[in-house]
């Protein structure tokens, strides 16, 4: 599926030299300066080894400086690779690859062509490492690779010097890393913090621990950069960004307090080995950011599965009916609701082990199957790293209990689990994620993570991985009116940042006006019904737990229920149409021959968006806030002007044979 080859020919030297000559004016010239350019020359990286033998890189996109000289290097327990470095040699790289039939992404198939360079360095003690840069026209990816050497077969990375220095005019859309061991039953950090919108880059983070990936930067009028990492598995920790000093964000490892202090901060791996890829997605506009497939283009499947995993929609009693609904009778109501809606799944949330019990659970699973509904069953990940009481606990963390449980799940025909409340970003926790995934796949079980880290390429790496929360998700509508008040603003951000780099288990689309079982009390939803429906297209996750309840069968408008029955959850293509993070967003997605264009707005005035509707479009219809029914779309020369009201939305659907 993926091929990598190293060219040893004189790789487009003319273009390289031309760009090198052009670049001299803006980048300081030093001892060893090498330019790496993308296939169509839109993106250029300048790698510099200065007179002290220190490494840095800078990035230009369409001739504009996006990253100023930013540090590179490693400090390790076998030696330091940060100064006195000598370039031994470098080679060009060309990667021509792709993936296909991966339903769980924003695009089911993709091709990519990257060009790059592998640099081999030696430190003053004669130890070597290499630095791998690979570029496509909108992406820079890099990582460090270390060979087995001088009899040393393992390494601990004590520190990365890796940084990202943004120009001072840059503003950021970023979310802070939490303190460890705070929040609900001491479960943080869990990537559930508020985002800041368009703030100056030197803004201090709320907890003084910097920012989590991904981070979106607007470099004045020069372009956008989405910074993240991918390919993080059991061989490394997940990293984050420090607070910026003069625009420089340094890569930081997890905090010692995470995971209740268990496990090391510094990652370790066997040699030869490498660090995860750090990726920078670049765009003059936001289109390459929203449409990027970079997190999956730098990784490959870590195992083959003998199972085919089904995706689709599900019901979820807990979101509106909360813990009190975890009983046999209420679960039957949500199985029946799923059946009535034609949904494939129902999620049975926390406490089922004590409030339903294993024996009656087996009966409930059978009942679900009799209704053609697949139960997805909740587990805590913990464990010795938090104070979670909701059961089942102490199963997914323990290899022996976990294997026994997976066997029980498979015997009862369960095909999905949701594992919640992880301990942070240390390598020890990455090992747990991977162990749960790989054990589950042995039994044909797919896995959803909540209370968890950002997925970093996992959709492609683990065939039975479904999606992760790692966002302030729909539950916060129940918990806080303030979150309801800011729902539209957050919805207008996620497609550009969090959901741009990974599946997002949001669990939204409420049709209740009030956030409670009765629909008569509780927090007030500020957004329209069409807004809610539009989020099922704007938020991408291959299984969507829709936040409806049995009362919606009779009190929600029929067009809403019809739409929810119809809308797919997997996509063959994704196109960014218009928008600005936090203000409004319009995206088109295709499933087979069916297209949906969806838009929502958080702006305080009407937003108009001009759309091209193809002449061949069939079965064209519009859902908009002005009418509680399907409407015809009146185009003018193939154009349609969609107007989005504040806190409102629209959907246009059509078929293209």
**Residues at the site binding Ca ion, with contacts judged by CB under 5 A:** 451
Strands, E assignment, 514-560? 543-545
Report the alpha-carbon distance of residue 183 to residue 189 in Å, rounded.
8
Q: How far is the CB of 39 from Ca ion (least distance, A)?
A: 41
Nearer Cβ to Ca ion (451/457):
451
Q: How far is the CB of 290 from Ca ion (least distance, A)?
A: 24
Nearer Cβ to Ca ion (390/601):
390
Q: How far is the CB of 507 from Ca ion (least distance, A)?
A: 9
Nearer Cβ to Ca ion (215/388):
388
Q: How far is the CB of 271 from Ca ion (least distance, A)?
A: 38
Dmax (CA) of the chain: 75
Tokens for 568, please give them.
């797919």
Helix (H) or strand (E) holding 553: helix 552-555
Nearer Cβ to Ca ion (451/508):
451
Report the alpha-carbon distance of residue 84 to residue 71 in Å, rounded.
14
Strands, E assignment, 245-366? 248-252, 268-270, 273-274, 277-283, 312-316, 345-348
Nearer Cβ to Ca ion (35/321):
321
Q: At what angle do helices 558-566 and 529-538 cross, to 10 degrees?
A: 10
Q: How far is the CB of 45 from Ca ion (least distance, A)?
A: 38
* Cβ burial, residue 657 (10 Å; 0-12/13-18/19+): exposed
Report the alpha-carbon distance of residue 359 to residue 408 in Å, rounded.
12
Please report which residue ranges of 217-357 form alpha helices under DSSP H: 287-291, 294-297, 317-321, 328-341, 352-355
Task: Answer whether 135's CB lies under 8 Å from 106's CB.
Answer: no
- Nearest residue to 446 (alpha-carbon basis) of 498, 406, 394: 406
Nearer Cβ to Ca ion (451/467):
451
Strands, E assignment, 581-638? 584-591, 594-601, 607-612, 618-624, 627-631
Q: How far is the CB of 476 from Ca ion (least distance, A)?
A: 8
Q: How far is the CB of 420 from Ca ion (least distance, A)?
A: 7
Q: How far is the CB of 350 from Ca ion (least distance, A)?
A: 11
Nearer Cβ to Ca ion (134/505):
505
Nearer Cβ to Ca ion (391/646):
391
Nearer Cβ to Ca ion (79/451):
451
Q: Tokens 């690859």 map to which residue?
A: 97
Report the alpha-carbon distance of residue 198 to residue 258 in Å, rounded.
29
Q: How far is the CB of 185 from Ca ion (least distance, A)?
A: 12
Report the alpha-carbon distance of residue 624 to residue 293 in Å, rounded.
30
């Amino acid at each position: 599926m993926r091929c990598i080859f190293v060219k040893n020919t004189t790789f487009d030297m003319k273009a390289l030299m031309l760009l090198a000559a052009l670049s001299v004016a803006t980048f300081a010239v030093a001892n060893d300066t090498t330019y790496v350019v993308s296939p169509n020359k839109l993106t250029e990286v300048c790698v510099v080894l200065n007179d002290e033998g220190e490494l840095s890189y800078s990035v230009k996109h369409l001739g504009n400086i996006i990253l100023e000289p930013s540090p590179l290097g490693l400090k390790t327990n076998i030696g330091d690779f940060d100064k006195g470095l000598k370039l031994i040699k470098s080679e060009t790289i060309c990667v021509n690859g792709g993936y296909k039939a991966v339903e769980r992404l924003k695009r089911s198939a993709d091709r990519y062509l990257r060009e790059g360079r592998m640099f081999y360095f030696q430190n003053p003690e004669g130890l070597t490492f290499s630095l791998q840069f690979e570029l496509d026209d909108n992406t820079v990816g890099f990582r460090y690779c270390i060979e087995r050497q001088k009899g040393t077969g393992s390494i601990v990375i004590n520190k990365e010097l890796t940084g990202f220095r943004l120009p001072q005019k840059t503003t950021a859309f970023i979310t802070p890393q939490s303190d460890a061991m705070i929040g609900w039953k001491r479960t943080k950090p869990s990537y559930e913090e508020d985002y800041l919108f368009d703030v100056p880059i030197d803004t201090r983070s709320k907890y003084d621990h910097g920012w989590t990936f991904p981070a979106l930067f607007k470099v004045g009028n020069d372009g956008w950069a989405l910074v993240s990492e991918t390919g993080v598995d059991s061989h490394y920790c997940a990293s984050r960004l420090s607070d910026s000093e003069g625009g420089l964000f340094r890569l930081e490892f997890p905090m010692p307090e995470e995971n209740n202090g268990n496990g090391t901060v510094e990652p370790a791996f066997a040699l030869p080995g490498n660090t995860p890829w750090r990726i920078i997605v670049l765009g003059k506009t936001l289109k390459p950011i929203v449409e990027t497939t970079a997190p999956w283009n730098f990784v490959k499947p870590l195992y083959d599965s003998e199972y085919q995993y089904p995706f689709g929609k599900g019901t979820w009693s807990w979101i509106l009916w909360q813990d009190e609904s975890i009983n046999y009778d209420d679960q039957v109501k949500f199985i029946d609701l799923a059946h009535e809606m034609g949904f494939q799944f129902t999620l049975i949330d926390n406490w089922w082990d004590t409030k339903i019990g294993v024996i009656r659970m087996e009966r409930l699973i059978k009942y679900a199957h009799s209704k053609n509904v697949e139960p997805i069953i909740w587990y805590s990940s913990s464990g010795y790293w938090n104070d979670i009481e909701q059961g089942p606990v102490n199963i997914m963390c323990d290899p022996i209990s976990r294997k026994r449980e997976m066997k029980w799940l498979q015997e009862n025909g369960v095909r999905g689990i949701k594992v919640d409340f992880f301990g942070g970003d240390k390598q020890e926790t990455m090992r747990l994620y991977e162990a749960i995934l790989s054990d589950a796949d042995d039994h044909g079980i797919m896995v959803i993570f909540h209370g968890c880290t950002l997925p970093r390429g996992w959709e492609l790496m683990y065939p039975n991985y479904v999606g992760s929360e790692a966002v302030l998700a729909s539950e916060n509508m129940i918990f806080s009116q303030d979150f309801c008040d800011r729902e539209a603003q957050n919805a207008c951000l996620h497609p550009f940042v969090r959901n741009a780099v990974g599946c997002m288990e949001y669990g939204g689309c409420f049709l209740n006006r009030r956030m409670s079982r009765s629909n008569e009390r509780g927090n007030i939803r500020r957004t329209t019904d069409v807004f809610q429906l539009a989020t099922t297209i704007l938020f991408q996750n291959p299984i969507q737990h829709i936040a409806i309840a049995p009362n919606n069968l009779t009190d929600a408008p029929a067009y809403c229920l019809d739409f929810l029955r119809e809308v797919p959850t997997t996509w063959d293509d994704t196109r960014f149409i218009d928008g600005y993070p936090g203000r409004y967003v319009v995206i088109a997605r295709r499933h087979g021959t069916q297209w949906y264009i969806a838009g929502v707005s958080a702006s305080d005035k009407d937003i108009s968006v001009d759309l091209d509707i193809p002449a061949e479009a069939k079965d064209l219809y519009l859902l908009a806030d002005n009418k509680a029914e399907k409407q015809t779309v009146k185009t003018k020369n193939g154009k349609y002007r969609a107007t989005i009201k504040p806190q409102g939305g629209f959907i246009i659907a059509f078929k293209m044979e």
